[in-house]
């Protein structure tokens, strides 16, 4: 039964194969499998064979209907056909071939080959290829199978395109390929080193375009000369400058030290008369200067300098109308003369041919000049009156290649012009002196010891020097006394053209027998002064204040007494009263306003000075009236009343008003001084006070002597039995009272102009301050009637009214001249 099952299966199978074979046979041959897939051919009715280059899973021949024939990769394993060197195997459908690698080709020119043995692959020269592979200036280099592009020197391959070369800027690449005497010039692919302007290649040095070494060209050696013949050529590194020759100055419109500088012969600088000074002598001097100016030749500059100095000497020497000039005018002229001399001498020195020059005039004015191209460190210059030590850099005008000039002119004659100018001490010195003397210094008088030394340099900017200049000034030996000192001062010009001595920025460094060493941080005209310090005496100031205060109180009491005490009313009391009023007002103004704060003379100070002038003059006029009254009282006692009230007021208030009015009209600017609000002694202005005072004092002295003499006579006539002792006492007291009253104490004041008589100063101060006190004593306290009145007042105040009657009754018994000396 199983046999039948197999049989059926087998049968079906056979039928199927048969059908297949039939089918195949029906295609080609009858014994060919008709199902052979692509790339295969039938072997027989049941088997196929893959075409060459193809294979199936079960090999070349297969019988399985489901198999296919696939391409064999001959290039890959396991066959891995070797094509040989420089060649690559290329698999194709059913076959393969060999090809030369890129950059190679077969010697025959064929493209492919089959067998290693046919390999004739060889390198081709890529650099011959068109278009060129390496572009621009790059150079192609053939390699085995490849090429590279190289760049010529100075170029480098562009990073983004290796076939292109770009330029390298050697000049900015930081390597500084050129010598520092040249400057670098970049070219495409190279660079050059060119000499800087004004330089030339050093002969014999490497002279390639990229290694040149240069040196400065000395343009000054050129022919024809590069500079104008009025100038001197100065070679500089890389260039040159033309500088005026000695004795020549710039032509207008040109600048110094340019290449085109042109100069003209130096001329004497213009020097004109200071305006506002009328002096024939000064005009003559300027006429001489004009002649010197006209005849000036740089080559003869030294002669001109000598003549100029002699002319200045003459101007100052002979007594002339210069002596008549007022002080401010003299100082104005001195300032002008000093500053202009400095300017003119500086210019003339530059024209001077030599290197140094010293001249001593017949009148002992001495000039020392030095002119030098270059210098270094410290330099000394000087003559017998003055020497100077200074840093060269200070003398030379900044960075100037002009020759440097230094000079000192020492003139004794100049002293006369600069005398009696004020001396302003700097705060530092004042502070030191205050420490030394334990009291503030108000100011200083002085005496000029040395010559006036005018110092000048090329450098005109000498207000603040970088390093101080040291001087030694000769002067006659003099030992400073107490409250004195040697001071180095300089002449400081002010805005109004005048000037004064100033010590700011100058220090006295030391002094020997006959010279003083000074150090100054600026330049102008210097001198050594012997200063007499005006040191405020605190004791004197205190005495003045206390005395004046006491005086004021006493004067007030006097005024009240003279106004209110009826028994003594009369012509003499009126005089007393107005004297006291004038003194009171004067003293009060003095106490309140005499000191001038701030040093500036303002309206307040002028007013105070004017009022003081008026009050004290009025006081003196009333004093003279006292004298007159005394005279009338004693000498003309039986001949009626003295002067009428009208005359009293006219003399007492009118005369001083007239004097002050005239003074103010003539010289109102002399009211007020920098320290005190009093009259300025300049021009003798003080005599508008001293004159009347002296006249009145003398007048009163005469009256005093006459009166005392007459009194002596009268006492002996009227009172023959009076004891001699009492007579003498009364006389003495009256005389002393009159002495104070009539202002004789002011006689002491006349000696006050000598600031060193301290005894006199004290006496004067004490006596004058206490004048009111004395007036009170002599005219009130020592007057019997006044005393009685005081007693009455005192009683009235304490409630005792009986005394009033006693006094009034005694009043009626008084003599017809109530004010007649009650002593
Ligand atoms: C066909 O050829 C294969 C191999 O050549 C062989 O094995 C097979 O017997 C052949 N078939 C017939 C029917 O001849
Ligand atoms: C290549 O050629 C050599 C001799 O020329 C031969 O011996 C070899 O069989 C050949 N190889 C093929 C794969 O044709
Ligand atoms: C040549 O070499 C470079 C690298 O060196 C490569 O990038 C380039 O493809 C090569 N060219 C050829 C033709 O082989
Ligand atoms: C490199 O080549 C590119 C394109 O050619 C260009 O734009 C670039 O400027 C080049 N670079 C240099 C450094 O020359
Ligand atoms: C060049 O360099 C040298 C030192 O290497 C230096 O002494 C010289 O001053 C320099 N010159 C210039 C013109 O810079
Ligand atoms: C300088 O120039 C010379 C001649 O032109 C050349 O031979 C040399 O290589 C250059 N040197 C440099 C550093 O460029
Ligand atoms: C400069 O040259 C001019 C002519 O160009 C001549 O007249 C003059 O005298 C010369 N000056 C000097 C100082 O040599
Ligand atoms: C001289 O040269 C300078 C420049 O070097 C120029 O500014 C000036 O105007 C010139 N002066 C004259 C007078 O030619
Ligand atoms: C300068 O002062 C002195 C003394 O103080 C005096 O003798 C002289 O006349 C004054 N000179 C002038 C010009 O005022
Ligand atoms: C003194 O001179 C100095 C410096 O020149 C100046 O500052 C000062 O104001 C002067 N003093 C007086 C009082 O003129
Ligand atoms: C100053 O003078 C005295 C005598 O006159 C002398 O003995 C002394 O040496 C002098 N001093 C100086 C520093 O010149």
pLDDT, one tens digit per residue, over 208-252 is 788 888 889 998 998 898 999 889 898 888 889 888 888 888 888
First to last CA, the chain: 205
Give the pLDDT score at 722. 57
pLDDT, one tens digit per residue, over 593-606 is 887 766 577 888 88
* Rounded-to-integer distance, Cα 301 and Cα 457, Å: 17
Q: How many CB atoms lie within 10 A of CB 660?
A: 20
Q: Produce one character per residue of 389-420: b if its CB has 16 or more CB atoms within 10 Å, e if not.
A: bbbebbbbeeeebbbbbbbbbbbbbbbbbbee
* Rounded-to-integer distance, Cα 108 and Cα 662, Å: 143
Residue among 75, 116, 117 whose CB has most ligand 2 atoms within 8 A, to mutate: 117
Ligand 4 pocket member 161 (CB < 6 A): yes
Positive/negative CA dihedral, 514, 518, 523, 526: negative
Domain 27-68 -> CATH class:
mainly beta
- pLDDT over 80 at 754, yes or no: no
Averaged pLDDT for residues 91-100: 89
- pLDDT over 80 at 574, yes or no: yes
Q: Where in the chain is the domain with CATH 2.10.25.10?
A: 27-68, 87-117, 172-217, 231-265
pLDDT, one tens digit per residue, over 177-202 is 888 888 888 888 788 888 888 888 88
Q: Inter-axis angle of helices 603-634 and 655-667, to 10 degrees? A: 150
* Rounded-to-integer distance, Cα 608 and Cα 651, Å: 22
Q: Which residues pair with 139 in a beta bridge?
A: 150
The maximal CA–CA distance of the chain, rounded, in angstroms, is 222
Give the pLDDT score at 585. 93
Find out whether 135 and 122 touch, Cβ atoms under 8 Å.
no
Q: Which atom of ligand 9 is nearest to the CA of 420?
A: 1
Q: Cβ < 6 Å from ligand 3: which residues?
A: 102-103, 145-146
In a 13 Å sphere around the CA of 82, the CA atoms on its Cβ side amount to: 4
Averaged pLDDT for residues 353-369: 91
Distance 190 CA to ligand 6 centre (A): 8
Strand-pair category, 386-391 with 378-382: antiparallel
Find out whether 477 and 513 touch, Cβ atoms under 8 Å.
yes
- pLDDT over 80 at 802, yes or no: no
CATH 3.40.50.300 for the 280-535 domain, yes or no: no
pTM for the structure as a whole:
0.55
Domain 172-217 -> CATH class:
mainly beta
Q: Which atom of ligand 10 is nearest to the CA of 424?
A: 13
Q: Superfamily assignment of 87-117 in CATH?
A: Laminin (2.10.25.10)
Averaged pLDDT for residues 389-396: 87
* Rounded-to-integer distance, Cα 368 and Cα 410, Å: 9
Quick one: which ligand is closest to 116's CA? 2
Residue among 210, 211, 212, 213 whose CB has most ligand 6 atoms within 8 A, to mutate: 210
Distance 146 CA to ligand 3 centre (A): 6
Averaged pLDDT for residues 492-510: 90
- pLDDT over 80 at 712, yes or no: no
Q: How many CB atoms lie within 10 A of CB 529?
A: 24
pLDDT, one tens digit per residue, over 31-87 is 777 788 888 888 888 889 999 889 988 888 888 888 889 998 888 887 788 888 889
Find out whether 460 and 393 touch, Cβ atoms under 8 Å.
no
Q: How confident is the model at residue 735 (pLDDT cuts 50, 70, 90)?
A: low
Pull the structure tokens for residue 535: 């040191």
Nearest in space to 365 (alpha carbons), one of 325, 322, 415, 330: 415
Q: How many CB atoms lie within 10 A of CB 209?
A: 12
CATH 1.10.1740.10 for the 231-265 domain, yes or no: no
Which residues, 6+ apart, have CB-to-CB distance to 26 below 8 Å? 34
- pLDDT over 80 at 314, yes or no: yes
- pLDDT over 50 at 806, yes or no: no
Mean pLDDT of the chain: 82
The conformation of residue 377, written as its DSSP 8-state character, comes to S
91-100, 149-158, 560-569: which is most confident: 91-100
Torsional class of 143: left (φ above 0), alpha (ψ -120 to 50), beta (otherwise): beta
Q: Where in the chain is the domain with CATH 2.60.220.50?
A: 280-535
CA torsion angle for 176, 182, 186, 192 (degrees, to 10)?
-110
Which H or E run contains 143? strand 139-143
Give the pLDDT score at 497. 85
Give the pLDDT score at 389. 94
Q: Cβ < 6 Å from ligand 5: which residues?
A: 180-181
- pLDDT over 50 at 677, yes or no: yes
pLDDT, one tens digit per residue, over 519-545 is 999 998 999 999 888 777 777 778 888
538-782, CATH topology level? Rhopdopsin 7-helix transmembrane proteins (1.20.1070)
Residue among 115, 116, 118 whose CB has most ligand 2 atoms within 8 A, to mutate: 115
Q: How confident is the model at residue 620 (pLDDT cuts 50, 70, 90)?
A: confident
Distance 178 CA to ligand 5 centre (A): 12
Ligand 9 pocket member 420 (CB < 6 A): yes
Q: How confident is the model at residue 811 (pLDDT cuts 50, 70, 90)?
A: very low
Q: Where in the chain is the domain with CATH 1.20.1070.10?
A: 538-782
Give the pLDDT score at 504. 92
Q: Inter-axis angle of helices 538-564 and 758-769, to 10 degrees? A: 30
Q: How confident is the model at residue 484 (pLDDT cuts 50, 70, 90)?
A: confident
Q: Which atom of ligand 7 is nearest to the CA of 228?
A: 1
């Amino acid at each position: 039964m199983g046999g039948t099952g197999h049989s059926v299966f087998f049968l079906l199978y056979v039928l199927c194969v048969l059908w297949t074979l039939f089918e195949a046979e029906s295609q080609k041959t009858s014994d060919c499998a008709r199902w052979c897939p692509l790339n295969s051919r039938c072997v027989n009715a049941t088997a196929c064979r893959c075409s060459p280059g193809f294979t199936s899973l079960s090999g070349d021949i297969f019988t399985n209907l489901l198999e296919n024939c696939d391409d064999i990769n001959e290039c890959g394993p396991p066959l891995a056909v070797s094509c040989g060197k420089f060649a690559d195997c290329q698999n194709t459908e059913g076959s393969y071939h060999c090809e030369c690698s890129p950059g190679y080709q077969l010697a025959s020119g064929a493209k492919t080959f089959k067998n290693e043995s046919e390999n004739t692959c060889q390198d081709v020269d890529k650099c011959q290829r068109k278009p060129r592979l390496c572009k621009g200036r790059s150079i192609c280099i053939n390699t085995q199978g490849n090429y590279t592009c190289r760049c010529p020197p100075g170029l480098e391959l562009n990073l983004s395109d290796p076939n292109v070369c770009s330029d390298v800027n050697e000049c900015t690449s930081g390597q500084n390929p050129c010598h520092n005497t040249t400057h670098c010039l970049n070219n495409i692919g190279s660079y050059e080193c060119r000499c800087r302007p004004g330089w030339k290649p050093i002969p014999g040095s490497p002279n390639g375009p990229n290694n040149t070494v240069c040196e400065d060209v000395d343009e000054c050696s050129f022919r024809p000369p590069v500079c104008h013949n009025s100038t001197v050529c100065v070679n500089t590194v890389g260039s040159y400058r033309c500088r005026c020759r000695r004795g020549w100055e710039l032509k207008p419109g040109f600048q110094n030290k340019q290449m085109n500088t042109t100069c003209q012969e130096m001329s004497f600088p213009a020097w004109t008369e200071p305006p506002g000074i009328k002096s024939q002598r000064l005009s003559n001097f300027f006429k001489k200067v004009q002649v010197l100016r006209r005849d000036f030749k740089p080559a003869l500059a030294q002669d001109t300098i000598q003549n100029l100095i002699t002319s200045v000497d003459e101007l100052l020497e002979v007594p002339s109308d210069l002596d008549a000039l007022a002080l401010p005018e003299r100082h104005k002229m001195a300032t002008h003369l000093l500053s202009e001399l400095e300017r003119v001498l500086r210019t003339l020195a530059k024209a001077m041919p030599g290197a140094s020059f010293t001249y001593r005039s017949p009148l002992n004015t001495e000039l020392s000049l030095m002119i030098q191209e270059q210098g270094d460190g410290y330099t000394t210059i000087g003559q017998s009156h003055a020497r100077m030590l200074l840093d060269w850099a200070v003398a030379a005008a900044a960075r100037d290649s002009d020759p440097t000039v230094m000079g000192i002119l020492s003139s004794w004659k100049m002293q006369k012009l600069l005398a009696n100018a004020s001396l302003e001490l700097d705060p530092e010195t004042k502070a030191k002196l205050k420490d030394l003397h334990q009291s503030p210094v108000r100011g200083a008088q002085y005496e000029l010891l040395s010559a006036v030394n005018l110092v000048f340099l090329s450098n005109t900017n000498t207000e603040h020097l970088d390093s101080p200049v040291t001087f030694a000034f000769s002067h006659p030996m003099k030992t400073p006394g107490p409250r004195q000192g040697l001071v180095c001062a300089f002449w400081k010009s002010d805005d109004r053209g005048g000037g004064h001595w100033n010590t700011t920025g100058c220090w006295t460094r030391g002094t020997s027998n006959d010279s003083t060493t000074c150090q100054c941080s600026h330049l102008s005209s210097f001198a050594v002064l012997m200063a007499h310090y005006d040191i405020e005496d605190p004791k004197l100031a205190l005495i003045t204040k206390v005395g004046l205060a006491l005086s004021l109180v006493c004067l007030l009491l006097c005024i009240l007494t003279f106004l209110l005490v009826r028994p003594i009313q009369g012509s003499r009391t009126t005089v007393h009263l107005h004297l006291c009023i004038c003194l009171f007002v004067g003293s009060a103004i003095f106490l309140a306003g005499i000191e001038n704060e701030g040093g500036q003379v303002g309206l307040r100070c002028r007013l105070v000075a004017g009022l003081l002038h008026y009050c004290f003059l009025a006081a003196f006029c009333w004093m003279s009236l006292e004298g007159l009254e005394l005279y009338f009282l004693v000498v003309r006692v039986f001949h009626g009343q003295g002067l009428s009230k009208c005359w009293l007021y006219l003399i007492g208030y009118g005369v001083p008003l007239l004097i002050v009015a005239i003074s103010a009209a003539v010289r109102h600017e002399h009211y007020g001084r920098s320290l005190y609000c009093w009259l300025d002694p300049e021009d003798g202005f003080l005599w508008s006070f001293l004159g009347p005072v002296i006249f009145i004092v003398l007048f009163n002295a005469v009256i005093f002597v006459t009166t005392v003499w007459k009194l002596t006579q009268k006492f002996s006539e009227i009172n023959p039995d009076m004891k001699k002792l009492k007579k003498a006492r009364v006389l003495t007291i009256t005389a002393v009272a009159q002495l104070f009253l009539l202002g004789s104490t002011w006689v002491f004041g006349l000696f006050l102009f000598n600031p060193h008589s301290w005894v006199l100063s004290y006496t004067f101060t004490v006596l004058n301050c206490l004048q009111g006190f004395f007036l009170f004593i002599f005219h009130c306290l020592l007057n019997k009637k006044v005393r009685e009145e005081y007693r009455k007042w005192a009683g009235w105040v304490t409630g005792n009214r009986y005394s009033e009657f006693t006094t009034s009754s005694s009043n009626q018994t008084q003599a017809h001249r109530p004010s007649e000396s009650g002593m």
